């Protein structure tokens, strides 16, 4: 296991591997690989060279990530274990073995998180006049002010829930912060237990009037417990937090109305009976620990104790403070030179459609502006009287007011044919997507939810425009969600095009999603779950057969066993393979006799690496390039609708080469995966920071455009 810290890295000696070794040596465990990824996120918070509030942000992200991991991945493993399943994964681990390994890893990671926050971040924040205050730290004047605040803002919201024969143990909602209170009644000998939920609707950290000190809400509630239990003696109080199974189970084949079925499942998720983790503050009494584990039907191995504050995902409130000197310098995305003269307002000005007729346009967010590219595309499509139809997929989009949603509604109100495929099963965005589906339907948009049994993950948009006697199609195929907010922090790629073959493919694909179709072949697009797996395997096989083949892939995750084994085969037959993988990687690189020609790296930094890029070939003449929504995970290839677009435009291909070259040269943000399954930072020799380099390139393009103009 990797152990990262200020003192360096402890690396376990790599076993000698050959192509004939057991399966457990061929494939890395998915769950442990994901924990490796989150460990790299934690390392960003540990980096003293980062601005202080950026370190706070990465602590919040690490904690949020871990919550979701327990809600979905650990919950699934516990369900398998409880059912008595002993099926082994491709790395030969049973569900129970994985749970044991996860506990060991998570225990170490959360200890590092607590040490970092308590010993480094809190003192550093204190020096910047951002201070966390406990009840015992407060002056009498502070307590008086907080008492009035408590009475006016908090007390009316609180509901203490007793636990006794007349009051069964209350339902505790997932991820809520609570106080376990032990109190004594002068008229009774036995102590009483009660649960007080810390209101999630209120700010987690209450600012004092000086604007420098913040009191955790649970600390304030604990300091005023006598108001909740008058006449009782409060003997002890301990914060706790539980995590429940959050995976939706929807029988789509049996559902008459998928929207209603998802809404029902969401209500069930909020009341999920299955707890999977209990978080306690260090020092919690044995009495409270035993009571909670018994009532929640958990084992002691499901209990995680941490010194100090629980739920550090709440640190987003601290990150939001107006302290620009403690954050990264703001980055303002640029507008592509070809779009600089496109008018957003004048009805007779240049249109984006005129620009796309001259050739495809690759946009690289957040270095290229989303608003002046994809945003402009939907905006002009909605306003243009010659546009007859707009079709769009929505997986995760921004909250109100979403410009994508707003323009789709405007287009429908203008009488255009508008279709929105809203993916109701986008995890943790289900409720937002349901709300958008209702709003779009009310405006006259044709809202569909895709194909039964499949999650629509493709990022595709189609605009049909009347031009003289012809109908001309304009398209966008991308790697990222149509979300202008995340487009400022997620690294993604998209191609805007007037290629009529791509347009015809998107017409067919939307018909597949909205109607009935058994179509399997497309002119240019590679589409899952129809033929994408076979086509990727064919491309890998082609490079393997060449003897000196070349493969470069940039992904969020790689865990599909068939793809991994094909890459092993290509490596053994002479192909050189570079993989840039942000998250889960089930492939073991650099193993003698198995994967000696495969290198795996991961880049983590200011922006979230999110694009998927595929390049097959060594020579410029026959090299094939693809971008799109699909990772090489079994779910993406078999249970999702995904689309990859071949990039044929010379300028766009050169831009992709530039992106891959920068990412493969990075030695400031990059990590490498070793044959023993451990990750280590790339040695810094040239100080290439990919995110900084991409910003430099964007500024250089802008200066060049200004000089040409």
Q: Which residues pair with 241 in a beta bridge?
A: 177, 279
Which has the closest alpha carbon to 567: 554, 579, 583?
579
Residues in the chain: 709
Coil, strand or helix: which one is 452? coil
Q: Which residues pair with 192 in a beta bridge?
A: 183
Catalytic residue, chosen from 457, 476, 610, 691, is 457
Cα 59 from Cα 490, distance rounded (Å): 18
CB-CB contact of 459 with 481 (8 Å): yes
Which has the closest alpha carbon to 308: 137, 119, 103?
119
CB-CB contact of 625 with 647 (8 Å): yes
The DSSP-derived string for 293-307 is: HHHTT--GGGEEEES
Cα 564 from Cα 585, distance rounded (Å): 10
DSSP tag of 42: H
> 146 burial class (0-12, 13-18, 19+ CB within 10 angstroms)?
buried
Alpha-carbon distances of 386 from 133, 136, 248, 497, rounded to whole Å: 61, 68, 42, 18
Tokens found for residue 229: 């239990």
Sign of CA dihedral 461, 467, 469, 470: negative
Cα 386 from Cα 461, distance rounded (Å): 17
Tokens found for residue 409: 């509604």
Go through 21-31 and write b for each residue having 16 or more CB atoms within 10 A of its CB, e for each that does not. beeebbbbbbb
Which has the closest alpha carbon to 482: 502, 464, 457?
457
Cα 246 from Cα 445, distance rounded (Å): 30
Cα 514 from Cα 367, distance rounded (Å): 34
Which has the closest alpha carbon to 483: 363, 383, 412, 394?
394
Cα 471 from Cα 545, distance rounded (Å): 43
Rounded to an integer, what is the distance from CA 274 to the centroid of its chain? 24
Cα 568 from Cα 18, distance rounded (Å): 11
Cα 613 from Cα 480, distance rounded (Å): 12
Coil, strand or helix: which one is 476? strand
Tokens found for residue 642: 């995904």
The DSSP-derived string for 663-705 is: HHH--SSEEEE-TTS-EEEPP-SS---HHHHHHHHHHHHHHHH
Edge-to-edge strand list for the sheet holding 177-184: 161-163, 192-197, 177-184, 233-244, 275-281, 303-306
Cα 705 from Cα 696, distance rounded (Å): 14
526-528 and 640-646 beta bridge pairing? antiparallel
Those residues with Cβ within 8 angstroms of residue 141's Cβ, 6 or more apart along the chain or in another chain: none
Q: What is the dihedral of CA 303, 308, 312, 318, to 10 degrees?
A: 170
DSSP tag of 289: H
| Residue 457 annotated among the catalytic residues of the structure | yes
The DSSP-derived string for 552-601 is: EEEES-B--HHHHHHHHHHHHTT-EEEEEESS-B-B-TT-TTTSTTEEEE
Neighbour tally for 661: CB within 10 Å:
13
Q: Which residues form the catalytic set?
A: 457
């Amino acid at each position: 296991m990797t152990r990262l810290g200020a003192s360096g890295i402890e690396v376990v000696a790599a076993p000698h591997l050959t192509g004939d070794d057991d399966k457990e040596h061929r494939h890395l465990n998915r769950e442990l690989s994901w924990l490796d990824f989150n460990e790299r996120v934690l390392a960003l918070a540990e980096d003293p060279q980062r601005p202080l509030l950026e370190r706070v942000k990465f602590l919040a992200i690490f904690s949020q990530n871990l919550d979701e991991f327990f809600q979905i991945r650990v919950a699934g493993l516990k369900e398998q274990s409880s059912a008595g399943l002993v099926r082994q994964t491709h790395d030969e681990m049973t569900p129970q073995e994985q749970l044991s390994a996860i506990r060991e890893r998570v225990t170490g990671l959360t200890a590092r998180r607590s040490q970092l926050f308590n010993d480094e971040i809190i003192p550093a924040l204190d020096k910047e006049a951002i201070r966390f205050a406990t009840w015992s730290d407060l002056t009498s004047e502070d307590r008086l002010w907080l008492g009035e605040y408590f009475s006016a803002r908090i007390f009316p919201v609180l509901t203490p829930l007793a636990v006794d024969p007349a009051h069964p143990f209350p339902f505790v909602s997932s991820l809520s912060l609570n106080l376990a209170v032990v109190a004594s009644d002068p008229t009774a000998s036995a102590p009483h237990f009660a649960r007080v939920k810390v209101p999630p609707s209120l700010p987690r950290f209450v600012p004092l009037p000086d604007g420098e000190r913040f009191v955790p809400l649970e600390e304030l509630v604990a300091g005023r417990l006598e108001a909740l239990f008058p006449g009782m003696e409060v003997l002890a109080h301990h914060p706790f937090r539980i995590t429940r199974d959050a995976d939706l189970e929807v029988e789509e084949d049996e559902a008459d109305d998928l929207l209603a079925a998802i809404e029902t499942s969401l209500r069930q998720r909020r009341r999920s009976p299955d707890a999977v983790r209990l978080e306690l503050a260090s020092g919690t009494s044995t009495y409270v620990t035993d009571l909670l584990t018994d009532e929640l039907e958990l084992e002691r191995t499901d209990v995680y104790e941490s010194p100090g504050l629980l739920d550090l995902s709440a640190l987003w409130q601290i990150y939001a403070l107006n302290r620009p000197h403690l954050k990264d310098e703001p980055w303002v995305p640029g507008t592509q030179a070809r779009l600089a003269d496109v008018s957003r307002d004048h009805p007779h000005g240049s249109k984006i459609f005129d620009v796309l007729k001259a050739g495809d346009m690759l946009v690289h967010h957040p270095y290229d502006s989303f608003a002046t590219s994809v945003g402009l595309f939907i905006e002009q499509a909605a306003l243009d009287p010659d546009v007859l139809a707009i079709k769009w997929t929505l997986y995760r989009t921004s909250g109100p007011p979403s410009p994508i949603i707003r323009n789709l509604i405007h287009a429908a109100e203008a009488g255009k044919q508008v279709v929105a495929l809203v993916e109701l099963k986008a995890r943790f965005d289900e409720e937002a997507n349901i709300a958008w589906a209702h709003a779009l339907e009310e405006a006259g948009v044709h809202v569909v939810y895709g194909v039964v049994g499949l999650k629509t993950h493709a990022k595709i948009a189609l605009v049909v425009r009347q031009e003289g006697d012809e109908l001309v199609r304009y398209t966008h195929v991308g790697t990222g969600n149509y979300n202008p907010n995340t487009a400022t922090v997620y690294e993604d790629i998209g191609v805007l095009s007037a290629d009529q073959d791509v347009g015809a493919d998107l017409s067919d694909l939307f018909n597949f999603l909205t109607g009935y179709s058994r179509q399997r072949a497309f002119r240019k697009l590679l589409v899952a779950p129809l033929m994408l797996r076979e086509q990727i395997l064919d491309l890998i096989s082609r490079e393997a057969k060449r003897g000196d083949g070349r493969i470069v892939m940039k992904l969020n995750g790689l865990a599909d066993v068939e793809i991994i084994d094909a890459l092993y085969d290509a490596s053994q037959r002479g192909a050189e393979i570079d993989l840039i993988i942000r998250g889960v990687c089930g492939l073991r690189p650099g193993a003698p006799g198995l994967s000696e020609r495969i290198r795996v790296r991961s880049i983590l930094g200011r922006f979230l690496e999110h694009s998927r890029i595929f390049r097959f070939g060594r020579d410029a003449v026959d090299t094939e390039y693809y971008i799109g929504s699909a990772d090489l995970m079994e779910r993406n290839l078999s249970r999702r609708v995904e689309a990859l677009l071949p990039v044929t435009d010379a300028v766009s291909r050169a831009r992709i080469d530039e992106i891959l070259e920068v990412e493969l040269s990075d030695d400031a943000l990059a990590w490498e995966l070793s044959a023993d399954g451990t990750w280590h930072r790339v040695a810094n020799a040239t100080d290439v920071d990919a995110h900084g380099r991409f910003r430099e390139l964007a500024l250089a393009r802008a200066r060049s455009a200004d000089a040409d103009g």
